[in-house]
């Protein structure tokens, strides 16, 4: 066969493979065109997963009638004024979307500019111009896409169910809406008005209002606002508390200069920022806006414009890490309301309906509980028997209680199952997992003291000899210096043992032998190229686990209250070292709901 240049129509179909993967990619391109036209209102109508029809309607500048046929030509764009690809300020610039879409569907564009009295309607069917005629319309543009992939059926095979395609369209709609709070957006799927985001024009807090609209009020309440900058880079947004984590990263929204993008490196930077506060395999949520000079980022990497290349990623990584880490640390003990809501659901569903519905449900009137009576009060209970089984920790009514109640974590009222502290605040109650909380306190204190070079150690009265496998013994001796800096003084002792002479004072009466074995095991499974900081962190983390109060240890009132007061001033104290929450709050409102008072 001879070499020939392919017809325009085929070229468009090939390029459509990159731009128009599925209905949601069309939604993205059309909405971005509407944004570029300075619209203040954009409406998206979807039918049948986008395969029946996709309509995007805006009140933007419109397309001049003499230019409308150019809009569907390949590489025709109004957005690159001075042919400079280094300065791209509009969302579009490649002039590929409309020709690609029109080559795999029936596309009708109806548009009118302020200078035109009438609108122009222009239809292209699978790459061939159908007609151009006069129509009526307000200023703005409507693009209607039907018969998608009808002539390229191979594409249909790659699509998911109609329901899944609908939700992908919804996802991309929300993603774009998050970055343009000044534009009002409506989403109508199969005739149903699903989302209606108001225009946040004239409001100072337009961005937070839009994020609240998209995430929902409850999730938004569990987010921390961030705002920081470094040289020419600025980072704003809202990030979720570590306890609000998800099995995938799909709720991480990322924008570079207001363009929604995906970026592996940024994903890893976010992950690193949460590394000590979130369980393995879980992902934080957040909406992050990174702004930087256009010449420091290349958006022309892929036709879908969802990937970018940075000129200096290290600076961005540093900005993300420091901003997120300090925001998470500052949020400290902030208790998640989403978790509390989960608990309420459990109270309602699991505990009551499953286990006790037999007693209270009217359908069960004939069951064995029908004649249920309260048992006679046991006389013995009035005697001193009770005193033989005192509550685990009896908290004396204390004059300081009133004062403590106004603290965020309240006044400790007692200990349950020698594991949980229950405290009273002005507007609710809080349950605290004493081990999880104390573990974080010891960790942060060790880290801080280590940083300041002030980790004191205590000499063991009787040095502890620990038998180890030779590989573990070697790894400990290799790390002897790091261990020493942390307060552990160890030496080789015979063939298969080491002797521990000093341990960090913070560890109290921890089980040193088990701790050292654990540290040895941890160090031996860590990759060899891991940084010293990471090694130190892992030793500190293990030590904190051993050095903290165990579940099962009875605490008195002042111990409990001092734990709560310390949590309030310790960074990251809302999660233990493994990312589990340390406390859970039930507001009086929630409690009233539980009892049906609300």
Shortest reach from residue 451's CB to Mg ion, in Å: 50
Phi then psi dihedrals of residue 327, to 5 deg? -65, -40
Q: Residue 429 gets which letter from DSSP? A: E
Q: Is 97 in the site for Mg ion (CB under 5 A)?
A: yes
DSSP annotation of 80 reads: -
Q: Decide: 62 and 80 in contact? Cβ < 8 Å.
A: no
Q: How far is the CB of 90 from Mg ion (least distance, A)?
A: 8
92 forms part of the interface with ligand ADP (CB under 6 A) = yes
Does residue 92 interact with Mg ion by CB under 5 A? yes
Can residue 15 be called a binding residue for ligand ADP (CB under 6 A)? no
Part of the chain binding ligand ADP (CB under 6 A), chosen from 90-98, 247-255, 421-429, 564-572: 90-98
Is the dihedral angle over the CA atoms 59, 65, 70, 72 positive or is it negative? Answer: positive
SS3 of residue 47 by DSSP: strand
Q: Could you give the C-alpha distances from 425 to 335, 347, 404, 417, 594, in angstroms and in order?
A: 13, 21, 8, 21, 18
Beta-bridge partner residues of 284: 245
Least distance in angstroms from the C-beta of 113 to ligand ADP: 8
Site mask, ligand ADP, residues 131-160, x = CB under 6 A? ----------x-------------------
Shortest Cβ contact with ligand ADP: which residue? 92
CB closer to Mg ion out of 33 and 103: 33
The reply on whether position 275 binds ligand ADP by CB under 6 A is no
- Taking the complex as a whole, the smallest distance from the CB of residue 261 to Mg ion amounts, in Å, to 16
Any contact of residue 223 with Mg ion (CB under 5 A)? no
Strand segments, DSSP code E, in 242-392 are: 245-246, 252-256, 259-260, 283-284, 286-291, 297-298, 309-310
The option from Mg ion, ligand ADP, none interacting with 174 (CB < 5 to 8 A, set by class) reads none
The verdict on 43 binding ligand ADP (CB under 6 A) reads no
Residue 195: CB minimum distance to ligand ADP, A: 20
Out of Mg ion, ligand ADP, none, what residue 37 binds, judged by CB under 5 to 8 A for its kind, is: ligand ADP
In whole angstroms, how close is the CB of 182 to ligand ADP at the nearest point?
17
Using DSSP, how many helices (H) and how many strands (E) does the chain show? 21, 24
127 binds ligand ADP (CB under 6 A): no
Using CA atoms, how far apart are residues 466 and 480, in angstroms rounded to an integer? 15
In the list 24, 25, 43, 58, the residue contacting ligand ADP (rule: CB under 6 A) is 58
> Which option in ligand ADP, Mg ion, none does residue 186 bind, with CB closer than 5 to 8 A by kind?
none
Contact indicator for 130, 117 with CB cutoff of 8 Å: no
| Residue 253 touches which of ligand ADP, Mg ion, none (Cβ within 5-8 Å per kind) | none
Q: Which of 48, 6, 264, 69 is nearest to 150 (CA)?
A: 48
The binding track of 94-123 with respect to ligand ADP, each residue x by CB under 6 A or -, is xxxxx-------------------------
Give min distance, CB of 201 to ligand ADP, in A: 19
How far is it, in rounded angstroms, from Cα 408 to Cα 331?
12
**Which residues lie closer than 8 Å to 294 by C-beta, 6 or more apart?**
86, 87, 88, 89, 257
Report strand pairing: 53-58 vs 140-146: antiparallel
- Identity of the residue, 77 or 398, whose beta carbon is nearer to Mg ion in the bound complex: 77
Tell me the number of residues near ligand ADP by CB under 6 A: 21
Rank residues 97 and 189 by Cβ distance to ligand ADP and give the closer one: 97
Other beta carbons within 10 Å of 251:
16
Q: Phi, psi at residue 406, to the nearest 5°?
A: -85, 0
Report in angstroms how near the CB of residue 178 gets to ligand ADP at its nearest. 20
Residue 34 near ligand ADP by CB under 6 A: yes
Say which entry of ligand ADP, Mg ion, none residue 61 contacts (CB below 5 to 8 A, set by partner kind).
ligand ADP
Candidate residues 45, 93, 185, 253; the one interacting with ligand ADP per rule CB under 6 A: 93
Residue from 53, 77, 513, 538 that binds ligand ADP (CB under 6 A)? 77
> What's the rounded Cα separation, in Å, for the pair 359 and 341?
25
Cβ-proximal residues to 190 (8 Å cutoff; 6+ apart), any chain? 46, 47, 48, 166
CA proximity to 336, closest of 284, 414, 411, 273: 284
Taking CB under 5 A as the rule, which mask of x and - marks residues 6-35 in contact with Mg ion?
---------------------------x--
- Give me the residues that bind ligand ADP (CB under 6 A), please: 29, 33-34, 37, 58, 60-63, 71, 77-79, 92-98, 141
């Amino acid at each position: 066969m001879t070499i020939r240049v392919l017809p325009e129509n085929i070229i468009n179909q090939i390029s459509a493979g990159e731009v128009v993967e599925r209905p949601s990619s069309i939604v993205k391109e059309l909405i971005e065109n509407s944004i570029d036209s300075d619209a203040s209102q954009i409406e998206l109508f979807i039918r049948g997963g986008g395969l029946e029809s996709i309509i995007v309607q805006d009140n933007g500048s419109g397309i001049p009638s003499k230019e409308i046929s150019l809009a569907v030509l390949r590489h025709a764009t109004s957005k690159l004024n001075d042919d400079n690809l280094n300065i791209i300020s509009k969302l579009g610039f490649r002039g590929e979307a409309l020709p690609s879409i029109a080559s795999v569907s029936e596309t009708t564009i109806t548009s009118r500019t302020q200078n035109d009295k009438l609108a122009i309607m222009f239809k292209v069917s699978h790459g061939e111009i159908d007609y151009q005629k006069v129509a009526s319309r307000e200023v703005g543009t409507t693009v209607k896409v039907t018969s998608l992939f009808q002539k390229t059926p191979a594409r249909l095979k790659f699509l998911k169910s109609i329901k899944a395609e609908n939700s992908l369209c919804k996802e991309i709609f929300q993603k774009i809406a998050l970055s343009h709070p000044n534009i009002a957006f409506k989403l109508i799927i199969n005739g149903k008005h699903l989302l209606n985001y108001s225009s946040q024009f004239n409001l100072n807090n337009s961005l937070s209002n839009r994020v609240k609209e998209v995430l929902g009020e409850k999730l938004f309440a569990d987010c921390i606002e961030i705002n920081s900058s470094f040289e020419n880079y600025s980072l704003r947004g809202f990030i979720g508390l570590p306890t609000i984590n998800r099995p995938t990263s799909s709720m991480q929204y990322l924008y570079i200069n207001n363009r929604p993008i995906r970026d592996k490196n940024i994903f890893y930077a976010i992950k690193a920022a949460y590394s000590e506060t979130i369980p393995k395999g879980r992902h934080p949520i957040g909406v992050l806006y990174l702004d930087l000079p256009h010449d420091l980022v290349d958006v022309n990497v892929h036709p879908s414009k969802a990937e970018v290349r940075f000129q200096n990623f290290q600076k961005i990584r540093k900005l993300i890490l420091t901003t997120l880490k300090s925001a998470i640390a500052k949020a400290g003990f902030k208790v998640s309301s989403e978790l509390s809501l989960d608990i309420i659901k459990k109270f309602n569903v699991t505990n009551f309906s499953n286990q006790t519905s037999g007693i209270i449900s009217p359908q069960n009137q004939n069951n064995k509980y029908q004649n249920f009576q309260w048992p006679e009060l046991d006389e013995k209970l009035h005697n001193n028997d009770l005193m033989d089984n005192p509550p685990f920790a009896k908290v004396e009514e204390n004059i300081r209680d009133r004062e403590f109640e106004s603290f965020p974590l309240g006044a400790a009222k007692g200990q349950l199952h020698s594991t949980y502290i229950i405290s009273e605040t002005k507007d609710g109650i809080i349950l605290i997992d004493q081990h999880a909380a104390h573990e974080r306190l010891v960790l942060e204190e060790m880290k801080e003291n280590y940083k300041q070079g002030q980790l004191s150690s205590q000499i063991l009265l009787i040095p502890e000899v620990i038998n180890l496998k030779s590989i573990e013994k070697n790894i400990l001796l290799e790390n002897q210096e790091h261990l020493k800096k942390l307060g552990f003084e160890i030496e080789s002792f015979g063939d298969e043992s080491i002797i521990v002479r000093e341990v960090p004072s913070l560890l109290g009466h921890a089980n040193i032998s088990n701790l050292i074995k654990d540290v040895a095991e941890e160090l031996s499974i860590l990759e060899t190229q891991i940084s010293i900081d990471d090694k130190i962190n892992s030793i500190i983390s293990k030590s904190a686990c051993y050095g903290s109060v165990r579940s099962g240890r009875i605490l008195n009132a002042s111990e409990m209250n001092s734990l709560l007061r310390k949590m309030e001033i310790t960074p990251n104290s809302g999660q233990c070292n493994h990312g589990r929450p340390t406390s859970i709050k039930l507001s009086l409102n929630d409690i009233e709901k539980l009892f049906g008072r609300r």
